[in-house]
Amino acid sequence: MEILNAAVAGTLESSDVQVSVEPAEKGVALDLSSSVMEQYGRQIRAVVLETLERLGVASARVRVVDKGALDCTIRARVECAVFRACGADAAAKNIPWGGVVRE
């Protein structure tokens, strides 16, 4: 998927994660901070990158502020931010559930 506009999903509440994406020239630049960095930083990074890859995001600047979210929440927030960044209404309908959006 191609990132067309800047978009954000998620909150800074405990057990949530806020994901911001914006267009970039080439490659994925990930900036991650987490309240559980020592124990889970490595795993969070892996989940974010794997989700971006599954969505076919080749270039984007991605900022993740994690407040102890579970992996399934991280996936949901990354997906939502990416769809929101793909033009008006892209996140609102005809989502490929079970396709590129999956566990």
Partner 1 sequence: MKNSIGREIPDELLAGGREIFRGNNHRDGYGYTKAGPKVRAAVKPQESKVVPTLRAAIEACGLRSGMTVSFHHHFRDGDYVVNMVMREIEAMGIRDITIAASSVGSAHDPVAAMIESGVVTGLQTSGIRGRMGEVVSHGKLATPAVIRSHGGRVRAIEMGEVHIDVAFIGAPSCDEFGNARGKGGKSDCGVLSYAMVDAKYADRVVVITDTLVPFPNFPPSIESVDVDCVVVVDEIGNAKKIASQAIRISQDPRELKMASDCARVMAALPYFKDGFSFQTGAGGPSLAVNRFIEPVMRERGIKMKWALGGITKPTVELLERGLIECIVDTQDFDTDAVASVHENRNHYEISTSQYANPMNKGAFVNKLDFAILAALEIDTDFNVNVVTGSDGVLRGAPGGHPDASAGAKCTIIVTPLVRGRIPTVCDRVVTVTTPGESVDVLVTDYGIAVNPSRPDIARALDEARIAHTTIEALRDRAYGMVGVPDEIAFGDHVVAIVEARDGTILDVVWQVEAHDA
Partner 2 sequence: MSAEKRSEKNRLRRTMLFLSAQRPSLMKDAYVFGPDSVIFDLEDAVAESEKDAARFSLYHILRRVDYGNVERIVRINGLDTPHWREDVRVCVAGGADGIRIAKCETADDVRAVERAVCEAEAEFGVGQGRTLLMAAIESPRGVLNAVPICESSERLFGVAISGGDFRKCMQTKYYPSGVEMLVARGQILLAARAAGVQCFDTVFTDLDDMEGFRAEVVQNKEMGFDGKSVVNPRQIGIVHEIFTPTAREIREAERVVRAIRENADKGVGIFQLDGKMLDVAFLPGAERTLALAKASGMYEGDL
Among 48, 83, 85, 86, contact with partner 2 (rule: CB under 8 A):
83
Picked from partner 2, partner 1, none, the partner binding residue 102 (CB below 5 to 8 A depending on kind) is partner 2
Between 45 and 54, CB nearer to partner 1: 45
The span of 26-34, 41-49, 58-66, 71-79 binding partner 2 (CB under 8 A) equals: 71-79
Closest CB to partner 2 among 47 and 60?
Answer: 47
Q: What angle do CA 40, 44, 50 make, to 5 degrees?
A: 145
CA distances from 66 to 11, 38, 39, 89, 95 (A): 9, 12, 13, 26, 25
Backbone phi and psi for residue 51, each to the nearest 5 degrees, phi listed first: -65, -45
Rounded distance between C-alpha atoms, residue 85 and residue 2, angstroms: 8
Nearer residue to partner 2 within complex by CB, 26 or 93: 93
Site for partner 1 contains 70 (CB under 8 A): yes
Does residue 43 bind partner 1 (CB under 8 A)? yes
Contacts of 99 (CB under 8 A, 6+ apart): none
Contact residues for partner 1, defined by CB under 8 A: 14-15, 33-43, 67-71
